[in-house]
Structure formats: C-alpha cells, structure tokens
Amino acid sequence: MTREEIMALSGRELDAAVAENILGRPVMWRTGPLCFGPYCSINGIHWWPVPYYSDNVLPVIDLHKHMISDFDRLWDYSRELLELLRIPGSKQIDIAMGVLKGLNPEIICRAALLAVSEEAKRRW
C-alpha cells in the first residue's frame, strides 16, 4: 500500500488493513443480515469479526505491543509516529513512547501500516 492509500483509510477498512497487513490474518468481507463487515481468521477455519483497532483503545494496545516486539520494526514505527505527529527530536524512541500515552487509536493504526509498507522499506 502507498502512503496515500493508507492515509485515505478509515473505520472498518483501516481495521481490516491492520489485521491483514500487520497481523497476517486473512480478511473476508461479509454482507449477510447477521454478519456484516470484515472478518478475519487465525487458523483458516473459524472466522471472527475484525477487532475495532481504529476506534477502541483495548485492541490497539495489542497492535502496539506487536509493533514494538521487533526491534527493527520499532524504529520504523516510531519514525512514522513522529512524522504523523510532526514532532521533531533526536531521541525519537523516547519521544514516541511518551506520545503514545495520549494517542488516538487511528494514528497508531496508520503509523503501524506505514511502518510495514513498501515505501518504509525503501527509505532505509
């Protein structure tokens, strides 16, 4: 995904992109009367609604933990957070971790997607 595509995502589309591109879960959109919206699978057999990453702090905490669990990804993630928030500083990781306390879940989702995008990989 390009930066422009990621910045244009919102709501359930953003949630589905997080589940698929960051957590590696296949996503299927359902439109039935009882099942509506994006669903994801962990094992390929059972499907569950995609968590509301962009609206709710609880599932986005798991996303944040996933992003900081890998040292290389952590730097891309913190750089994207700083760029989205336009915070200058030499100790990026310290600033990013401090800012995370008050961040909007949607910004965390976008920063995570930007950190794993092809454009982020080309920057280094």
pLDDT, position 11: 92
Q: What is the pLDDT of residue 19?
A: 92
In a 10 Å sphere around its CB, with 0-12 CB exposed, 13-18 middle and 19+ buried, how is residue 91 labelled?
exposed
Q: Give the angle 45-70-116 at the CA atoms, nearest 5°.
A: 70
Predicted confidence at residue 7, as pLDDT, reads 93
CA distances (Å), 107 to each of 54, 75, 113, 116, in order? 8, 16, 10, 14
pLDDT in tens, 30-89: 887 777 788 887 777 788 889 999 988 888 888 888 888 887 788 888 888 777 776 555
Q: Distance (Å, rounded) from C-alpha 11 to C-alpha 115? A: 19
Q: What is the model's pLDDT at position 74?
A: 83
pLDDT band, residue 16 (cuts 50/70/90): very high
Encode pLDDT of 86-110 as tens digits: 655 556 666 666 565 556 788 889 9
**Residue 37: both structure tokens together:** 């919206």
Each domain of the chain, given as residue ranges in start order, spans: 3-23+51-123
Q: Crossing angle for the helix pair 71-85 and 105-116, nearest 10 degrees?
A: 120
Please tell me the pTM assigned to this model: 0.77
